[in-house]
Structure 1
Amino acid sequence: MEKILNDIFSTIGSYLSNYILIVALLGGGIWFSVKLGFIQVKGFGEGMRRTFGGLFNKKGSADKDGMSSFQALATAIAAQVGTGNIAGAATAIAIGGPGAIFWMWIAAFLGMATIYAEALMAQKYKQVGSDGVVTGGPVYYIRAAFKGTAGKVLAGIFAVLIVLALGFMGNAVQSNSIAAAWNTAFGIPQWIMGLIIAVVALFVFMGGMGRIAKITELIVPVMAALYIVGALIVIIFNFKEIPYAFHAIIVGAFAPSSIVGGAAGATVKLALTKGVARGLFSNEAGMGSTPHAHAVAKVDHPAEQGFVAMIGVFIDTFVILNLTAFVIITTHSIPTGLTGAELSQYAFSTLYGKGGDVFIAVCMLFFAFSTILGWYFFGQANIKYLFGPKAVKVYAVLAAVCVFLGSLAEVELVWTMQDTFNSLMVIPNILALFALTGVIKQVHEDYFKNFKPKKK
C-alpha cells in the first residue's frame, strides 16, 4: 500500500513540478515584476536597510499585537533556510546538473516580486483573533479575493494543506535530517536525537508567538554566519575553480551535456524543473507559507514589510543556497553519484575531512530546527483559522510527536507527500494573488505616492 501511495503522489508531484509550478511561479514572478516596476531592483536597497537596521534595533518585541519587523523576517528565514539549502540544492544539482542553480536564480529573482506581493496582502488582511492575538496569512487574502463559497473552499483547502505539509509532515522530514546527520557525525542513535528535538520544540511551541520570535531572532543570524564562514573557507581554498563553477551553472542551464563532470543524463528540462521545484522548497516564494510571519510584523505601512520579505528570498537563495552550490561544484563532487545531504557532506569533507560531517550536522541542527519553529508557526495560524485558538495546544503536542516520529526512520512516502502538498499550496495562493493584483498595485503605489515622502 505504501508503495502504491508513494507512486501516486510521485506522479502528482512530478506533474505539478514539471508543468504547474513552472507556469505558476515563473509566470507569477514575471507578472508581479512587471506590474510593480521590478520592485526587487527598485526596493532592494530599502529592503537591505530595513533588514540590517532591524538586526541592531530591538524595539518592538513580540506580544499579542505582533512581532518586530526583524523578528518576522527571522521567523520567515527560519522556515526558508532549512534542509532545502543543504540537501535540496545538492539534490537539484545531482539530478539536473549545475544548470539547475541558474534556474533557481531566475526563480528567486522573480520570486522576490511575488513574496513582496504576498507580504503586502498578508499585512493588509491580517486580523485579531478571538484570543486577542494578531494573525494573518493566505487564508484571509484568499477569502478577500474570492467571495462566498469559492473563497471558503479555497481557503479551507489551503489551511489543511499547510497544516499537513509543514506542521506535521514537514517537521517530521526536518527532524529526520537532523537525526540522520548527527548519527553520521557522532553516532548518536536517531531516536535519542529525535526525542531531544521534540522536547525542546514543544517547550518553544508552548511559549507561543513571543517565544518563537525570540528564539528565531537569536538563531537565524548565528546559523547564517556559521554556514557562510564555513562554506567560504572551502570555496576560497578552491578559488581557482570559481570561474569553472560559473561556467558550469550558466552553460549547464542551456546545454547540460556539454559540462564535463556534470550530472549524468541531465537535460535542459531537468535543470529547469529541478531548479524551480527545489527553489520553491528552499525560498518558499509563492507557496504561501512565509506571509504568516510577515502578516504579524509591526510596521507603519504594508510595503515596509514587503521590502524586508524580499531580502529573505535573497538571503536564502543568493547567499546560503549559492554557497552550498559553489562548495559542491568547486570541489568537483558531482561525479561521486551522491545526492542530498550526503553530497553536501562529501563536498565539505574534501577540505575538513571527518569535520565535514560534523560541520553539516551542526548546520543541519540550526537550519532544520529553526525551520521546525517557523513551519509550526505557519501551521498554528491555520489551525486557529480552522478550529479556533483552543485547538493550538493540541496541535503543538501533535506537531512535537511528528518531530519525534520523523527522526526514527526516513519514510519515502512522507517526503513525497510533503513535496506534493507544498506544490498544491501554490495553486490557491497564486490564484488569490492574481485576483488581487489591483489591490496589490494600489497598496504598493500608496507607499511611494503618499507614505514614503512623509518619512523624516
Structure 2
Amino acid sequence: MNLIVTLISAIYQLLWGDLFAIPLPGGGTAGISLLVLLLIPTGLFFTFRTRFLPVRLFPEMLRLTVEKRGADGSAISGLQALIISTATRVGMGNLIGVVAAISAGGAGAVFWMWISALIGSSTAFIEATLAQLHKEPDPLYGGYRGGPAYYIHAFFRPGQNSRRSVIAVLFALSGLICWCGISQVISNSVTSAFENAFHIPPIYTTVALVALSAVIVLRKNATVKVLDILVPIMAGCYFLMTVFLIVKNAALLPSVFRQIFAEAFGIRQVVAGGFGTVLMNGVKRGLFSNEAGSGSAPCAAAAADVSHPAKAGLMQAFGVFLDTIVICSCTAMIMLLTPEGTTQGLGGMDLLQTAMEYHLGSFGVIFIALILLLFSFSTFIGILFYARSNVAYLFGDNWLSQTLYKLLALVMLFIGGLAAYTFVWDLGDVGIGLMTIFNIAVILPMSREALASLKEYEGLRRHGR
C-alpha cells in the first residue's frame, strides 16, 4: 500500500510540481509544471490558428446558446451539452480553488486566471469539434456518444473498429480513475461545509447525498433532465448574489480592479520575487477550473445533436468563458471586497464562509454551504455522464459495466463524506493530468480537421446557410 501511495505522489509531483523554474528580476522564480508547459503553448497555438476565436466569434457563441436542437429526439441539444460540461467545470475549484489562488498569489492571480481562460477557449473548441466529428450512435442510452477515447482511436487505428488503441484505453482508464477520485473530494467538501454551517454530523449529510445521487444516476436518462434544471439555478443564484454584493460595495470596485491589475504587473511583486507566484497561481487555477485540454468536456460535446460540428466546439469555448470569466470572478469579487483583516489566518472553505459572513451575516455561511452542495452535486452527476462513453469504449455496450462503475463512484462518494484520504485526492489529480497528456498529444496533429470544420462553418454563415 505504501508503495502505491508513493508512486501516486511521485506521478502527481511530475505532473503538477515545478518541472523547472524561470529566474525573474528581484530574485524570484516562476515555477513551470509539465501540464502548464503543455497547455499554455497549445492554447496559444490554437488561439492564433483560430484567429482569436474567443473574441472574434463571441457573438456567435451567444447566439448558439438559444438555438434549438436537431431532429433526433433521443439526442441532447448543444445547449444541454454545454449545461452538462458547465456542471462539471463549475465546482469546488470555482469556490475553494479561487480562494487558494488569491490567498497564495494575491489579487493579481485573478488577471492571469482570466488570460488562461481566453487561451483555453480555443483549445476547448478544437477538442469539442473533434469529438463531434468522431462521435458514434449510442445503442444503450440513445443519441450519440464519443470523446477523446474515440478520436484518439480514429487517429491511431483509422477504419479499425474492433482492436482498441492503447493510448485511447489509457485515456479512458485515466478518466475513470480521475472521476472516482473527484467523487471523494466532492462529498468531503460538502460534509465539511454543512458541518460548519448547520452543525450536521458528516454521516447524515453523506447518506443523504449518496441516496439522492443514486436515485438519479441509476436511472437511464435522468441525468440530463436534472442538470437542465439544476445548473441554471445554481449558476444564476451565485451570479446574482455576487452582483448584489458588488452593487452594495460599488464604491470599493475601482480599488479592487486597481489592485488586480497592479498586482498582476506590479513592480512591487517583481522586486519582492513574488511575480512568479502571482502568475502561476492564476494560470494553474484557470487551467484546472475550466478543464480546457483535459478531454473531459468533449465527452459531453460528442453527445450533442447539432447541425454542424463547429457549433459544439463554439458552445464548449463559451463554457470556458462562463466557468472562469464569470463564476470564478464571482468568488474573486466576494474575496476582494472583504477587508483583509477579517479573513486573516484562514484558508479554504472557512475563509470563503467568513467572507460571506462579513457581507451577509449568518445567511452568508448558509448560502455558501448550499451553493457548494449544488456545485458539487452537479459535478458528480456530470462526471458520471462523461464516464458513459469511456466505460463503453473499454468494456463494450452493456448495462452491467455501466452500472458497476456508477456503484463504484457512489461508494467513493460515501467514503469521502466520512474521511479525507489525501492519496485518493492526488489520484484524481493524477488522472486528470494523464488525460491531459494523452489528449494534447492527439489534438495537436488532429487539429487540422477541427480548423477545416471551422472554416467551412464560417463560409456557410457568410452565405446565410
Is residue 421 from structure 1 mapped to residue 431 from structure 2 by the alignment?
yes
- The equivalent of 2:23 in structure 1 is none
Q: Does 1:173 align with 2:185?
A: yes
Asked if the contact 1:238/1:331 (under 8 Å) is kept, the reply is no
Map 1:109-124 to 2 at 5 A. Answer: 109-124=118-133
CA distance 1:228–1:60, change in 2 (3 Å): farther
Distance 1:132 1:172 in 2: 26
Counterpart residue identity of residue 413, structure 2: V
Per-residue CA deviations over 1:93-134 (Å, capped at 9, x if unaligned) read 111222221111111001111111111101000112454742
Which residue in 2 is equivalent to 1:18? 32
Paired with 2:359 and 2:49, the residues of 1 have a C-alpha distance of: 46
Q: Distance in 2 between matches of 1:81 and 1:278?
A: 13
Contact 2:8 2:430 (C-alpha < 8 Å) held by counterparts: no
Amino acid at match of 1:160: L
Of the three residues 212, 218, 221, the one matched with 1:206 is: 218
How far is the alpha carbon of 1:191 from its aligned partner?
A: 1.7
Q: Which amino acid aligns with 2:379?
A: T
Amino acid at match of 2:88: A
Q: Which residue of 2 aligns with 1:262?
A: none
**Partner residue, 2:251:** 240
Name the aligned partner's letter for residue 156 of structure 1: V
**Which of 82, 87, 92 is the equivalent residue of 1:78?**
87
Q: What is the CA deviation profile of residues 36-59 of structure 1, one whole-angstrom value per residue up to 9, with x for unaligned ones? A: 1111112110111121x25xx588
In the TM superposition, 1:74-113 aligns within 5 A as 74-113=83-122
Alignment partner, residue 327 of structure 1: 334
Q: How large is the RMSD of aligned CA atoms in angstroms?
A: 2.4
Contact 2:70 2:305 in 1 (8 A): no
Cα–Cα, structure 1 residues 240 and 123, in superposed 2: closer, same or farther, change >3 Å? same
CA–CA distance in structure 2, aligned partners of residues 432 and 358 of structure 1:
44
Separation (CA, whole Å) in 1 of partners of 2:263 and 2:41 = 22
In the alignment, the residues of structure 2 paired with residue 249 and residue 431 of structure 1 have an alpha-carbon distance, to the nearest angstrom, of: 34
Name the aligned partner's letter for residue 184 of structure 2. A
The equivalent residue for 2:155 is 145
Secondary structure of the residue aligned to 1:296 is coil
Gap regions ≥5 residues in structure 2 = 20-30
TM-score by length of 2: 0.89
Where structure 1 has 5 or more consecutive residues not aligned to the other structure, the ranges are 260-264
Contact 2:120/2:293 (<8 A) preserved: yes
Distance in 1 (alpha carbons) for counterparts of 2:81 and 2:122: 18
C-alpha distance in 2 between matches for 1:317 and 1:190: 30
State the AA in 1 paired with 2:300.
Answer: A
- Structure having the higher helix fraction is 1
Aligned mate of 1:31, from 45, 50, 53: 45
Asked if residue 306 in structure 1 is aligned to residue 313 in structure 2, the reply is yes
Name the CA distance, whole Å, in 1 between partners of 2:397 and 2:69: 28
| Contact 1:162 1:421 (8 Å CA) reproduced | yes
Give the distance between the partners of 2:177 and 2:49, measured in 1 at CA.
33
Which residue of 1 is the match for residue 239 of structure 2? 228
Q: Please, which of 189, 204, 207 is the counterpart of residue 201 of structure 2? A: 189
Tell me the SS of whatever aligns to 2:304.
coil
1 CA distance for matches of 2:116 and 2:443? 17
Choose from 345, 358, 361 the match for 1:353. 361
Q: Which residue of 1 aligns with 2:348?
A: 340
Q: Structure 1 counterpart of 2:315, which letter?
A: V
- Asked if 1 retains the 8 angstrom alpha-carbon contact of 2:61 and 2:318, the reply is yes
Deviation at 1:9, TM superposition (A): 4.8
TM-score (norm 1): 0.91
| Superposition deviation, residue 256 in structure 1 | 8.0
